Structures are given as structure tokens and as C-alpha cells.
Amino acid sequence: MARRELDEATPHAQLFLDRLRRAHLSLAGVAALAGGGLLAALPLVALALPALDDDAWLGVPWPVLLLLTPYPLLVALAWLYVRRADALDEAFLALVAEDEEPEPGPPDAPGSRR
């Protein structure tokens, strides 16, 4: 029923698509805020800890290390975003496929009822 409504573009189908779009947009907003917050925090950390300018770790100055730290965190954030977006899509597809009835096959097909 839901797939037919999506194909026919009924108002009920539009509601399904609007909810999916809203879920994706809110996920994108959360990811953008998390990534932006992470990048915005870097100058604040540098300003809050001026003593880091004089120190080094394995010959690399701390400000340089501070600039490199967000990349693995951004990769992890992107990975989480993709996983959650895929889960939203799979949930939507399951909702659409939930109402479908299997097409009848030949009587001797596996899984058919006699």
C-alpha cells in the first residue's frame, strides 16, 4: 500500500517523504554543529593554553599537533553520519515494504502455499 502511494504521489506518501527529509536534515544539522564546534574550539584551546607554544612532543610543536587532531575526529563523525543516514533509509524502506504482499508465484514455487 505504501509503495503504491509513493508511486501515485498521494498526500500520505508526501507525509512519508517529508518525515524522511526532516530526519535527514536534522541529522545533517547535528553533524554540522558537531563538526563546526570541533573546529571552532581549536583557536579557543590555543588561546586558553599559551604555554603550549613553547613545548614540543617528539620535536613537533604543540600548535601543529593541535591543528592535526580534528582530522581523525572529523573522519569518525563522518562515519557515524553515514551509518545513521543509512539506518534512516533502511527504516524508510522497511516501512514501505512492510505493507507489500508478495506476488503469487507458480503453485510449486518454494514458499508458496498449496
The answer to whether residue 114 is domain-embedded is: no
DSSP state of 56: E
User: The whole model's pTM is what?
Assistant: 0.67
* Better pLDDT: 112 or 95: 95
Q: What percent of the chain has a predicted confidence (pLDDT) above 70? A: 78
Most confident of 43-57, 65-79, 97-111: 65-79
Q: Give residues with Cβ within 8 angstroms of 13, minimum separation 6.
A: 2, 5, 6
* Better pLDDT: 51 or 112: 51
The answer to whether residue 110 is domain-embedded is: no
Confidence of residue 66 (pLDDT cuts 50, 70, 90): confident
The answer to whether residue 6 is domain-embedded is: yes
The answer to whether residue 33 is domain-embedded is: yes
The answer to whether residue 29 is domain-embedded is: yes
Dump pLDDT digits (tens) for 25-46. 999 999 999 999 988 888 888 7
The answer to whether residue 112 is domain-embedded is: no
Q: Give residues with Cβ within 8 angstroms of 39, minimum separation 6.
A: 70
Contact 84/27 with Cβ under 8 angstroms?
yes
Residue ranges making up the domain that contains 56: 2-98
Number of domains the chain is built from: 1
The answer to whether residue 48 is domain-embedded is: yes
